[in-house]
Structure 1
């Protein structure tokens, strides 16, 4: 049986990405792992990470997805993107070369996923200042992937302890996020969350919709977003036959999620969903970008320049992202088909 292949991008080579990627491949991937892992980036960055970690492994450069060499224990295969050559970047600094290397690794891995020569990509963190210094105009991974794949709308799905959290709004101030809330966008967000739940293995999902205001607004005494936008959207989706519950006060809904009442929750703004996920399982929470024609899982933290190159970065989230990628890789064809159906 052919093993699924995952492309693991190194992220910003000045950050902790190479360290946590190397540890992930050596600890849980390898010939006996649930999916084949190939690092994507510059071999010099992998060698630098091995050096600071004090690990003994062979770095093997590959240049073709169609003719990967046989897996070997203690060997890290690296699809060489050819940016840095033999000149590594320094640890923990914003560097345009590092930004260029990070961007190129994403481009190469995404192209392979679009071509179907890998079953998904797992991304280590990038630094926005570094990619901007390299000439990129993207705000981050998600925006870059949307452009590379031709996706007009993508969103984030957090997976924490097997439960999924979605976001009606993401990188906006709280004040800006509230201006975006209306019935139409809620219907769209609920529909996308339900599609993602089905796509990733839940055939008849139950979705909870988080309220915005304390106590769900107390019938308008503490705000009217629930009355004006959230409850009407839930009613519309229930009339369409979907199992949607809400709006449920945010101080209760995440406890209910993790104790099994829902398969997923739609949070209304960035921190409303991030805080409970990262509190209950910081190292185990991973991010999946939904709405793309490819599978992409990711760590949910940054480059940690302050500890890069010190061999103290915890690889837990990268390990979780790889394991989730291996779990979801069999759905790669389903993900592509859903994208084409809704393009």
Structure 2
């Protein structure tokens, strides 16, 4: 690959073949602006991408390639590492299928393999379906867990970004009962540290990290729950001793608004919906999920 003029090679996994991934990829890669900043390489199924053109209604060609070095990255043509793992005649759009779930995981596996070899510079993932993955025999909760497993990463987290708002979760895909039981000092501290390091990589040398409470009004001094006193506050204090500008526990009903206005560089949320709701309210069509760790 010619890297004289650095435009990163972005491996784009196709996601669930029965979902919106193929259509969205076709539409996105039909735009010239994408090729000005990056070199996209889809990892998926060429026949599915070609079939999705009927729905996407864009004028592009689908070109199967064997490697990133053989891709041409030309506007009007989508290069795809074709794993040929979907039987198009058996694919039912909009329906949960084990075939599509298995294929979606295989795309991620191939992308990780290529990234670790330096054949691509980053991975962007189209949506997969957790139920379809489960039917295929995988018990992953989502992309974050797949990437952590394949890279043998012990400490990792999910960061959602929408404009100025960055949110990293202490817990994600589990019941509320399990999430509350999982709020422990070490887990909160690890998430604060991961958040701090991730935001530094975004070019902010000394980020301010707001830490949300778990309970209403961040526990109100123990009146509405003691997780803030027993687990969250000690984690914040330890983070400060490590030189991290951690603030909190902050009342969850106000901290996200303040962060979206630039008062904090990131927010550590305690559970899935606490962090997802504000991000989707502010950036439903523009927000992205970044795996950190």
Same fold, judged at TM 0.5 (above):
yes
What residue in structure 1 maps to residue 233 of structure 2? 231
Point out where structure 2 has 5 or more consecutive residues left out of the alignment: none
Residue 282 (structure 1) shift: 0.6
Do structure 1's residue 37 and structure 2's residue 47 form an aligned pair? Answer: no
Do structure 1's residue 15 and structure 2's residue 16 form an aligned pair? Answer: no
What residue in structure 2 maps to residue 65 of structure 1? 68
What residue in structure 2 maps to residue 3 of structure 1? 7
Aligned mate of 1:261, from 260, 263, 284: 263
CA distance in 1, matches of 2:194, 2:136: 33
User: Deviations for 1:239-289, whole angstroms, at most 9, x for unmatched residues?
Assistant: 332211111101110111011110000011111100111011111111011
* Runs ≥4 residues deviating over 3 A: 28-31, 85-88
What residue in structure 2 maps to residue 156 of structure 1? 158
Residue 4 (structure 1) shift: 0.6
Q: Give the superposed CA RMSD.
A: 1.7
Residue 103 (structure 1) shift: 1.8
CA distance in 2, matches of 1:227, 1:133: 41
Residue 87 (structure 1) shift: 4.4
Report the count of equivalent residues. Answer: 289
Q: How does 1:138-149 map to 2 (within 5 A)?
A: 138-149=140-151
CA distance in 2, matches of 1:255, 1:231: 21
Secondary structure of the 1:157 match is: strand
What residue in structure 2 maps to residue 175 of structure 1? 177
Residue 108 (structure 1) shift: 1.2
Specify whether residues 231 and 8 from structure 1 end up closer, same or farther in structure 2 by C-alpha distance, changes over 3 A only.
same
Deviates more, 1:208-217 or 1:268-277: 208-217
Specify whether residues 46 and 234 from structure 1 end up closer, same or farther in structure 2 by C-alpha distance, changes over 3 A only.
same
CA distance in 2, matches of 1:278, 1:86: 33
User: Deviations for 1:202-228, whole angstroms, at most 9, x for unmatched residues?
Assistant: 211110000122222222222222222
Secondary structure of the 2:197 match is: helix
- The 8 Å contact of residues 157 and 191 in structure 2, kept in 1 or not, is answered as no
TM-score, normalised by the number of residues in structure 2: 0.93
Residue 236 (structure 1) shift: 2.0
User: Deviations for 1:79-111, whole angstroms, at most 9, x for unmatched residues?
Assistant: 111213664622111222222321221111111
TM-score, normalised by the number of residues in structure 1: 0.80
Specify whether residues 186 and 76 from structure 1 end up closer, same or farther in structure 2 by C-alpha distance, changes over 3 A only.
same
Specify whether residues 20 and 228 from structure 1 end up closer, same or farther in structure 2 by C-alpha distance, changes over 3 A only.
same
CA distance in 1, matches of 2:232, 2:6: 46
Secondary structure of the 1:21 match is: helix
Deviates more, 1:11-20 or 1:94-103: 94-103
- The 8 Å contact of residues 63 and 78 in structure 2, kept in 1 or not, is answered as yes
What residue in structure 2 maps to residue 201 of structure 1? 203
